[in-house]
Structure 1
Amino acid sequence: MITSIAGKNTFLVAFLLLLSGCTSLPRSGPDGQVVESKAAITVAKEDRKVGIDYALLDLNENTLGYFEAPGSVSLRSSFGGRRGSPHDVPLGYGDVVQVAIFEAQSGGLFIPTDAGSRPGNYVTLPNQTIDRGGTISIPYAGQIRAVGRTKEQVESDIVEKLKNRAIEPQVVVTTVTSRSSQIAVLGDVKNPAKFELTAAGERVLDAISQAGGLSAAGLETNITLQRQNKTATVGYRAILDNPAENIFLSPGDTVIADHVRRTYTVFGASGLNGQFDFADTNLTLSDALAKAGGLLDSKANPAQVFVYRTVGRQSLQRMGVNVSSFKGQVIPVVFRANLRDPAGLFTAQKFAMQDKDVLYVSNASSVELVKFLDIASTVTSSASQANNAVK
């Protein structure tokens, strides 16, 4: 009887070994050993180490201040946009204007006594382009400064210089072409172009509308406003949600629509793995985890949540990190968040995610034991089935 049982066990072991090496078992492709054995040349380091040095930073009260979510940028606070009225549109270089001079009666400086059938007691001067000197020329008044002044100011100046020679003169200045008050709308809009500002005043969204609207999804589009030497960028959605950000434009402004698809990648013991869009203007680590389905209670180790990112050398130096062993201006950094600590959730709420970050949630140590037990259970079950088959 003992011999019979020993024979069955020997057969069982041989049967299992045969199955483990059988090439007919289901497989999605060659395993690692086959790939390595069939390679003509293998280029690898000892123990298959990748060989990329990186810095490990724990997210805590000391490091968080350098990487927390920035305050939202505001066009209104950056440029002082007014809510009630548009900016004044003064005359500028290259503008084409028309000047009409009225007199109270004929026989004056511009209206002859025998005006006869003239349609009115006024004269219209030929159109003039404001020259590089910033002036226009008016007969009997000379050169009149126009650049940087409103039409009303130029009219008053002309009247002042003609009042002792013309009969109760009145002046009307009309803008024919306003090249100096143009704004440019560029980037991801349907019809990039230059547009003239009007006295009614155009806002940021008006300019985008004149350019045919956005050519890409608004949720992933940033709007940059350039004015003289100042630049500010906000999300298109932020302008829609907050009308105060839809400020009036000024002559010479440039509006740039920039479609940037910002993504991050999630691996490990999270509810979902894959690539995710930011969607929000400012995405924090807690937001990123929530979009990925959170941590899996049965697998995740909350104390070992990692964010992989490259960080500028100077940023680490400002933190007091010794970066002498690293080369180059960009250093690989792994941020480690401890969400097992209740205070760790506050750091996750403040830590700002960046485009192309990699978020990895580590497995708990017990998961490896569970994997081993699953394998052992599978082998035991197979052995039992094979033993029954032998009987």
Structure 2
Amino acid sequence: MHSKHASGAVAFAVVAGLLSGCSTLPATGPSTEQIDPPSVSNDAIRDYVLVDLNQRVVDIVSQYRAAPFSKRFAAARPAPGQIVGVGDVLAIQLFEAGQGGLFSSDIGARVQFTQRVDSDGSITVPYAGRIMAAGTGTQAVERKIVAALEGRAIQPQALVQVTETVSRSFVVNGEVNSPGRFPVTAAGDRVLDAIAIAGGSKQEAFQTRVTLVRGSSQASAIMKTLIDNPADNVFVQPSDRIFLTKDPEQFLAFGAVPKPGPIPFDLERISLLEAVGKAGGLLDERSDPGALFLFRYEPASAVRAMRPDYNGRFGERVPVVYRVNLRDPAAYFYAKAFVVRDRDVLYVANAKLSELQKFLQILASARNIAQTAQTVQRMQP
């Protein structure tokens, strides 16, 4: 009799232990109630701003774009003319007005040669000596040479051209057809111009990430962003480094979808509705169509436009959770117009019925364990 009571106690303990874990059922992510607690207002959520997607929100978000280059690297067009720098190679031609002068020869009263600007910024010119060249334009160098030759040559003239520049050049590397170092032209080159000079990208624009390094600052953007947003296609400055990598745009899908994980765009742009389709749609037996969420960071100005009551607690980069109710037919239009961005996170919560089914499965498991314990008990002598 004592053993029967002991076996029954064991079975009861097993059942109680399983049921005690029902509040923490296995799940692929947070529940709807965890993202939007029923007893807490949106303003009281500390970790993010919750926004219900509608046409007004779609219109506001469409006006805001990431601008990693224009905010960090905004610079005016380079000044016209070419500034000579240390390490540059100069092609120099010297002329005289008549024969019998310093530069007279069988081919005429002129001479031409090349000079690389020394580390001290100067060059050496025959009969003129050391001429300071760095930091000035080619015309200024010409005037200095002519002034140094006055009284020695017959009405001297000089022509100076930069044939190789180091100080006023930029470097393009990575997924381009002709990587290398290129001079900054007098007209001014933007980032897309620099990529074209380097032979263009080997990959599609929406699969190419452009990284710009200027001094100690660095930023990157998908090449398609520079095409769509001209303000982000900033002017290249001397010593800039541009690196292209194949880095397809992608979003992350989690929760009650058939294809969770990172999913590439494979298109120049995709909508939220298309993103759901790429994730395989919603799992009928698990998903809650009224609990589709998209996680991303937005600029504070966009959040204030969507939520005038936003108190600014997150600064300029605001974590936002967009909620979409796909039970509402109108939501399909909003989701079709809402553009997904690179590295967005798409999450579909489980339906409450799915949680109930898990609970019932645990009960069934507990009952089977209890029955097994009772069978073992009966077999005991």
Same fold at TM > 0.5: yes
Aligned to 1:362: 350
**What is the 5 A alignment of 1:1-391?**
56-58=34-36, 60=42, 63-64=48-49, 71-73=65-67, 75=69, 78-80=73-75, 82=77, 88-108=81-101, 110-111=102-103, 115=104, 118-124=106-112, 126-198=113-185, 202-242=189-229, 245-261=232-248, 262-268=250-256, 273-274=259-260, 276-278=263-265, 288-289=275-276, 301-306=288-293, 337=323, 339=325, 355=343, 357=345, 359-363=347-351, 365=353
Structure-2 separation of matches of 1:51 and 1:146: 70
Q: State the AA in 1 paired with 2:66.
A: S
Which residue matches 1:3?
none
What TM-score, normalized by structure 2, do the two folds share?
A: 0.57
Q: Structure 2 vs 1, CA of residues 64 and 99 (structure 1 numbering), >3 Å: closer, same or farther?
A: same
Q: What is the CA deviation profile of residues 338-391 of structure 1, one whole-angstrom value per residue up to 9, with x for unaligned ones?
A: 74899x99x99999866384522322549969xx9xxxxxxxxxxxxxxxxxxx
Q: For residues 160 and 240 of structure 1, what CA distance do their matches in structure 2 show?
A: 49
* Aligned amino acid, residue 49 of structure 2: L
Deviation of 1:154 (Å): 1.0
Kept in 2, the 8 Å contact 1:89–1:250? The answer is no
Q: Say if 1:336 and 1:234 are closer, same or farther in 2 by CA, change over 3 A.
A: closer
SS at match of 2:200: coil
TM-score by length of 1: 0.56
Partners of 2:274 and 2:350 in 1: CA distance:
18
Taking only the aligned residue pairs, the percentage that are identical comes to: 29
Does structure 1 retain, via aligned residues, the 8 Å contact 2:251–2:346? Answer: no
After TM superposition, give the deviation of residue 274 of structure 1 in Å.
Answer: 4.7
Deviations 1:183-225 (A, max 9, x none): 2112233443333445565543343344443333321222122
Structure 2: distance between partners of 1:144 and 1:210: 33
SS in structure 1 at match of 2:118: coil
Residue in structure 2 matched with residue 33 of structure 1 by the alignment? none
1:16-54: per-residue Cα shift (whole Å, max 9, x none)?
A: xxxxxxxxxxxxxxxxxxxxxxxxxxxxx9789779998
* Rg (Cα) greater in structure: 1
8 Å contact from structure 2 (residues 84, 135) kept in 1? yes
**Equivalent residue of 2:108, what SS?**
coil
Distance 1:260 1:130, change over 3 A: same
Name the SS of the counterpart of 1:148 in structure 2: coil
* Structure 1, unpaired ranges of 5+: 1-44, 310-317, 321-332, 373-391
2:97 alignment partner AA: A
User: By how many angstroms is 1:170 displaced?
Assistant: 1.1
Report how far residue 257 of structure 1 moved: 1.1
Cα deviation code 1:316-348 (max 9, x no counterpart) = xx969xxxxxxxxxxxx9968474899x99x99
Q: Is the contact made by 2:209 and 2:247 (CA closer than 8 Å) also made in structure 1?
A: yes
Output the CA distance in 2 between the equivalents of 1:194 and 1:95.
Answer: 13
Point out where structure 2 has 5 or more consecutive residues left out of the alignment: 1-19, 52-60, 297-311, 361-381
CA shift, 1:130, in A, is 0.8
Name the counterpart of 1:326. Answer: none
- Counterparts of 2:223 and 2:42 in 1: how far apart (Å)? 33
| CA displacement 1:246-305 (0-9 Å, x = unmatched) | 55533322111122232312442x6x7455324688988677447658778998535534
Looking at structure 2, the residues matched to 191 and 242 of structure 1 have their Cα atoms a distance apart, in angstroms, of 25
Residue 304 to residue 252, structure 1, CA distance change in 2 (3 Å): same
> Aligned partners of 1:65, 1:241: CA distance in 2, in Å?
28
Q: Distance in 1 between matches of 2:277 and 2:284?
A: 14
2: CA distance, partners of 1:265 / 1:254: 34
Q: 1:147 to 1:54 in 2, by over 3 A?
A: farther
Q: Aligned to 1:238, what secondary structure does the other structure show?
A: helix
- Against the structure 1 CA distance between its residues 65 and 354, is the aligned structure 2 distance closer, same or farther, given a 3 Å change threshold? farther
Paired positions, count: 295
Aligned-partner Cα distance in 1 for 2:231–2:208: 19
SS state at 1:121 partner? strand
Instruction: After superposition, give the CA deviation of every residue in 1:159-185 in whole Å (9 maximum; x if it has no partner).
Output: 233335433221111334323333211
191-200 or 135-144, larger mean C-alpha shift? 191-200
